[in-house]
Amino acid sequence: MRRKVQNTLKASVAFEGPGLHSGQPARMVLIPAPAGHGIVFKRTDIALGNTRIPARWDLVERSPLCTRLVNTSGVSVSTVEHIMAALAGCGVHNALIEIDGPEVPIVDGSSAPFVRGIMQYGVHRLGVPATAYEVLKPVTVEKDGARATLLPSDRLTIEFHIDFAEAAIGRQSKVLDMRNGSFARELCDSRTFCRQADVEAMQANGLALGGVPGENAVVFDGERVVSGAGLRHSDEPVRHKMLDALGDLALAGGPILGRYVGERAGHALTNTLLRALFAEPGAVRAVACDAAMSARLPGQGLIWSEIPAEQRCVA
């Protein structure tokens, strides 16, 4: 039986642009890394001290609107969830991510530019088995009417339910088995969204300073979609929540074999769920992937022609 091996990138690839919340520009370079390295950010604009920030759940600082990693020396990188989702969805387990600013470029608000950038060269197989995290018993966390759950399963399935007062969003539910490149095909081009009512409040608090409706975020106002070009999917918001969940779950340190259920959940709650999973005795175990597991991991079977092209609005 052929074992699933760890992957890295075939070649370095760079992205640049402002961050969604800080508005600060940054250049980010994804660099191939050896087996066992994991995904690690490195702040190249900081000269002294420990500038490496491993992409791990236990380094997440509580932040309501994005996922921010802070290393033990206090060096941070913000809004990592969309690049983490792209790497997980393409099956990349090892990469060094050099970045010369405090926040990952928001690009078009989705993971699609990252997926296209990674897959234009493809992934490189390393001769070491991949480690997955198998959920062995149900774990649930709840806060303020939101809930996030992980259930045992032999594959990663993401299920999400949202319920917004805005008529243009309303109730949306979706379930997706993450095998066979489904992340790239179904989720990766769904963009960050927010409500018009939240925009001014966020900007007064120094957030969303790099947000440009229609360019890197979808803004909803009652029954209206404020961004001019419309939506890429009629249920783009729930798809984006699933994208965020994949990115946040990737901070486990490897692929998860389990069923994630998010009900109005956000970044902070998904991180609380991972903390609960690893704190609960017997709830999860690390497994070296065999051939059968390998066929069920995100990124397996991903083909270029299924990756959405740029600027595709259908709804």
In angstroms, the CA 124 to CA 220 distance is 40
Q: CB count, 10 Å around CB of 290?
A: 14
Q: The tokens 């340190």 sit on which residue?
A: 253
What is the separation of C-alpha 202 from the centre of its chain, rounded to a whole number of angstroms? 21
In angstroms, the CA 202 to CA 213 distance is 14
Strand partners, 31: 96
Q: Whose Cβ is closer to Zn ion: residue 93's or residue 267's?
A: 267
Residue 136 CB, shortest distance to Zn ion, in Å, is: 29
Q: Whose Cβ is closer to Zn ion: residue 208's or residue 289's?
A: 208
One symbol per residue from 33 to 72: x for binding Zn ion (CB under 5 A), - otherwise; what is it? ----------------------------------------
In angstroms, the CA 298 to CA 78 distance is 24
> Per CB under 5 A, does 244 bind Zn ion?
yes
Q: Which residue is nearest to Zn ion (CB)?
A: 244
Size of the site for Zn ion (CB under 5 A): 2
Residues 178-197 that bind Zn ion (CB under 5 A): 192
Q: CB count, 10 Å around CB of 170?
A: 14
> Per CB under 5 A, does 236 bind Zn ion?
no
Is 82 in the active site? no
Q: Whose Cβ is closer to Zn ion: residue 157's or residue 192's?
A: 192
> Per CB under 5 A, does 103 bind Zn ion?
no
Reported as type and span, the H/E element at residue 119 is helix 112-119
Considering only the stretches 4-12, 244-252, 272-280, 305-313, report the one whose residues sit in contact with Zn ion under the rule CB under 5 A: 244-252
Considering only the stretches 51-59, 203-211, 243-251, 253-261, report the one whose residues sit in contact with Zn ion under the rule CB under 5 A: 243-251
213 conformational bin, left if phi > 0, alpha if psi -120 to 50, beta if neither? beta
Q: Whose Cβ is closer to Zn ion: residue 203's or residue 300's?
A: 203
Q: Whose Cβ is closer to Zn ion: residue 75's or residue 243's?
A: 243
Phi, psi of 274 (to 5 degrees): -65, -40
Residue 244 CB, shortest distance to Zn ion, in Å, is: 4
Rg of the Cα atoms in the chain: 18
Which residues form the catalytic set?
267
Interaction site with Zn ion (CB under 5 A): 192, 244
